[in-house]
Structure formats: structure tokens, C-alpha cells
Structure 1
């Protein structure tokens, strides 16, 4: 059985019942995935640092704060983070990736980078030694409910080989199109944590959605 962590992507939840949803899911998940979108780097627009602070008051579980923004520096200035949280920035969104990594480290949060589908893993091989998490997008970022891009499996393999061969400590994550029919295959390619949206929140009960993902791996 693959050991993995499920981070429900709250963008797909009932936004008017977030507090209740988190209370229900807390015993069943390992953390939450929060997408900060600016309507510029990606076409969609979501919540900002104030909502992140509200989530932190609601749960003691780790947050993966996924900054899908053109100016991650500005977002980071307003974020309140905990040592258990991870701030994930897109390599495509900054011209000073090393500087951003250092700034996130200074907050005591964990550091993650995200790669869009068209972005090469090999290009950022050396950066992997500096981060805790590598999030590989398996859809084009911006909207939940998209179909998993099959070519992502090749990127998982490439990333896992680079991480293992160099002894890097960063964990591989998946975001986009994660569902019961593919989660086992995703994990078999070295992925350690998944951001799941529609597969959890389109279920009659989100707890059942989480359980279905777990059962798809353990059966």
C-alpha cells in the first residue's frame, strides 16, 4: 500500500460552509490545499491572505498555500504562516526564484515550488535541493474539475529520479485531476501528497470522497 497524504483543495468546497467542512474533514485528512489566485497569473480569482489566516484559526492541520499569482512577493508580505505550513510558488511567476525561496524560509514556513504542465523538471534540478515540496501541475492551473494530463506521469518519473539520485529531501506532490481511477497510478510514480478537489467535494459527503480515494489505493 502506498503511504500518502490527502490535501483537500478547498476551492471546490461549499464556500458558505467552510468552517463546518473543515471541522468534518479534520479527522480524515492530513492538511488542506489553498489556492490563492489573482486573476492575472491564472484567469480565476479566489481568496487572499486574510482567508488564509481564517483557515489557520479553524484548523491545526498543515496548509499548502499555493500562490497562483504574478507577484508572489506581495502576497508573501501579507501572509501569516506557521512552521507546519508550506508556501508554494510557481517558478513561472518570479524572476528571482532563489530570492523568493529565501524569503519563504525567513518566515519559518516550508518551501514549495510548482511547475506548470509545459515547464521542464530538468531545468529546475538544482532548485530541488533548496525546497521541501515539488508540486507538479497535472492540469493547466486556474480551474478545478479539469481532466488529468497523461503526460504528467513522465514528469513524475523524471522528478522522482532526480530527487532520489541526488538524495534531495523534497517531497513530490500532485495537483489537478486526481480521482479514484488514477490516484493509485499517481502514487506509484513517487508522489507523496495529492491535492484533490472535485473527487472529494462532488461526493454526497466530502468524507466519503476522501474515503473513496483511500480505498482506491488500498483495495
Structure 2
């Protein structure tokens, strides 16, 4: 059995009942994935630092705060983060990646980077030594419900080989198109954390959505 963490991606949740949903999900998941989207770096527009702060008051579980924004520096200035949280920035969104990594470290949060589907893993090999989390997008970012891009498996393999061969502590995450029919294959390629949106929140009960993902791996 693969050891892995499920982070429900709140972009697909029912915001009007989110508090109740979190109360129900907390015993069944390892954390939550929050997409901050600015309508520029990606076409969609979601929430900001105030939502993150409210969410931190709702759960004690770790958050993966995925900054899908053109100006991650400005977002970071307004974010309240905890040592258990991970702030994930896109390598494509900043010209000073090293500087952003240092700024996130200064907040005491964990550091993550995200790669869009067309972005090379090899190009950022050295950066992997500086971060805790590598999130590889398996869809073009911006909207939930997209189909998993099969070429992502090759990127998982490449990333895992780079991490293992260099002894990096960085852990691999998957975001986009994660579902019961592919989660086992995703984990077999070295992924430790999965952000799941539609597969959880389109279920009759989100707890059943989480359980279905777990059962797909353990069966």
C-alpha cells in the first residue's frame, strides 16, 4: 500500500456550507489545498489571504496554500501562515525564485514550488534542494474538473529520480485530474500528496469521495 496524504482542493467545495464540510472532513484527511487565483496568472478568480486566515481558524490541519498569482510577493506580504502550512509558488510567476523561497522561509512556513504542464523539471533541479514540496500540475491551471494529462507520469518519474539521486527532502505532490481510476498509478510514480477537487466534492458526500480514493489505492 502506498502511504499518501489527501488534501481536498477547496475550489470545488460548496462555500456556503464549508464550515460544516471541514468539520466532517477533518478526521478523514491530512490537510487542505487552497488555490489563490488572481485572474491574471490563471483565468479564474478565487479568494485571498483573508479567506486563508479564516480557514486557519476553522481547522488545525496543515494547509497547502497554492499561489496561482502573477505577484506572489504581494500575496505573501498579506498571508498569515503557520509552521505546519506550505506556501506553494509557481516558478513561472516570479523572476526572483530564490528570493521568494527565502521570504517564505522567513515566515516559518514550509516552502513549495509548482510547475505548469509545459515547464521542465530538469530546469529547476538545483531548486529542489531548497524546497520541501514540488507540486506538478497535471492539468493546465485555473479550473477544476479537467482531464489528467498522461504525459505528467514522465515528469513524476524525472522528479522522483532527481530527488532520490540527490538525497533531497523535497516531497512530490499532484494537482489536477486526480480520481479513483488514476490515483494508484499516480502514487506508484513517487507522489506523496494529492490535491483532489471534483473526485471529492462531486460525490454525494465528500467523506465518501475521500474514502473512494483511499479504497482505490488499498484494494
Do both share a fold (TM > 0.5)? yes
Query: Which SS does the other structure have where 2:23 is aligned?
Result: helix
Query: Which SS does the other structure have where 2:165 is aligned?
Result: helix
Displacement of 1:108 after TM fit?
Answer: 0.1
Counterpart-to-counterpart distance in 1, 2:124 and 2:17: 39
Counterpart-to-counterpart distance in 2, 1:118 and 1:74: 25
Displacement of 1:200 after TM fit?
Answer: 0.2
Counterpart-to-counterpart distance in 2, 1:37 and 1:20: 24
Displacement of 1:31 after TM fit?
Answer: 0.0
Query: Which SS does the other structure have where 1:58 is aligned?
Result: coil
| 1:179-219 superposed Cα distances (whole Å, 9 cap, x missing partner) | 00000000000000000000000000000000000000000
Query: Which SS does the other structure have where 1:140 is aligned?
Result: coil
| 1:65-121 superposed Cα distances (whole Å, 9 cap, x missing partner) | 000000000000000000000000000000000000000000000000000000000
Query: Which SS does the other structure have where 1:135 is aligned?
Result: strand
Partner of 1:129: 129
Query: Which SS does the other structure have where 1:67 is aligned?
Result: strand
Displacement of 1:159 after TM fit?
Answer: 0.1
Counterpart-to-counterpart distance in 1, 2:84 and 2:163: 22
Counterpart-to-counterpart distance in 2, 1:80 and 1:10: 18
Counterpart-to-counterpart distance in 2, 1:184 and 1:89: 26
| 1:136-173 superposed Cα distances (whole Å, 9 cap, x missing partner) | 00000000000000000000000000000000000000
Structure 1 residue 184 corresponds to structure 2 residue 184: yes
Normalised to the residue count of structure 2, the TM-score between the two structures is 1.00
Query: Which SS does the other structure have where 1:51 is aligned?
Result: helix
Counterpart-to-counterpart distance in 2, 1:29 and 1:201: 13
Counterpart-to-counterpart distance in 2, 1:104 and 1:150: 32
Counterpart-to-counterpart distance in 1, 2:63 and 2:154: 27
Counterpart-to-counterpart distance in 2, 1:120 and 1:156: 11
Displacement of 1:4 after TM fit?
Answer: 0.1
| 1:9-32 superposed Cα distances (whole Å, 9 cap, x missing partner) | 001000111111100000000000
Q: Gaps spanning 5+ residues in structure 2: where? A: none
Query: Which SS does the other structure have where 1:87 is aligned?
Result: strand
Partner of 1:43: 43
Would you say how many aligned residue pairs link Structure 1 and Structure 2? 219
Counterpart-to-counterpart distance in 2, 1:185 and 1:204: 25
